[in-house]
Amino acid sequence: MAQFFQIHPDNPQPRLVRRAVEILLEGGVVVYPTDSSYALGCQLGEKGAMERIRRIRRLDDKHNFTLLCRDLSEITTYARIDNQAFRLLKSLTPGAYTFVHEATKQVPRRLLHPKRKAIGIRVPDHAICRALLGELNQPILSTTLIMPDATEPLTDPYDMRELLDKHVDLIIDGGFCGLEPTTVVDMTTEPPTLVRRGKGDATQFIED
């Protein structure tokens, strides 16, 4: 059975945050809120936990996971970012954006796009996420919590508990956090290309 923590969305309880991070470090799969929607997450190096997430969502090996990072300095460990891209990211993070970058060698090969060495990276603007990432001291491998055949993410932690109790190790109830996905921008092109219009303001990526 999954553990169930009610964590305050603005003032996360340190004790519960520490226990959630222990579960991640033990190889667990965690449901947690972000600034766009609820997500499934695990530790970056946990292949078994990643495969469990794939099974929950019935994802094939071409699905692109995202690395949630605590700040820009952590992003540069996992993504190749030039000065121009850094300035853009600095102006838009933290926020509901996912940026696709060429990956560094710190990213396990199994996470990369099969045809190009790219990875999705983002810095979320959510107190629970920031607390988890600060305590974990590394990115969370993440994907939106959309069940197979559904068109929108799950929003009610009690529904998540009913559906996923035997499939995840922890469900964090952080209240309603929305349904709209992140705006996705491909930074491997020049100029950057809007891949998906979502919660983040996409105005500057749309050509007139």
- What confidence category does residue 167 fall into, taking pLDDT thresholds of 50, 70 and 90? very high
Give the whole-number percent of the chain exceeding pLDDT 90. 75
Q: Are 10 and 127 in contact (CB under 8 A)?
A: yes
The stretch 9-16 carries a mean pLDDT of 97
- CA dist., res. 39 & res. 146, Å (int): 8
- CA dist., res. 1 & res. 162, Å (int): 10
Report the pLDDT value the prediction gives residue 46, as an integer from 0 to 100.
92
Report the pLDDT value the prediction gives residue 190, as an integer from 0 to 100.
87
- What confidence category does residue 137 fall into, taking pLDDT thresholds of 50, 70 and 90? very high
What integer best gives the mean pLDDT of the chain? 92
Report the pLDDT value the prediction gives residue 108, as an integer from 0 to 100.
84
Q: Are 4 and 120 in contact (CB under 8 A)?
A: no
Residue 194 pairs in a beta bridge with 185
Report the pLDDT value the prediction gives residue 98, as an integer from 0 to 100.
95
Report the pLDDT value the prediction gives residue 171, as an integer from 0 to 100.
98
Q: Are 5 and 19 in contact (CB under 8 A)?
A: yes
**11 has a pLDDT exceeding 70:** yes
Q: Beta strands 66-68 and 118-122: pairing type?
A: parallel
The stretch 146-173 carries a mean pLDDT of 94
Domains of the chain: 3-196 (3.90.870.10)
- CA dist., res. 122 & res. 101, Å (int): 10
The stretch 142-151 carries a mean pLDDT of 92
The predicted-structure confidence for 70-120, as pLDDT tens digits, reads as follows 999 899 999 999 999 999 999 999 999 999 999 998 888 878 766 778 899
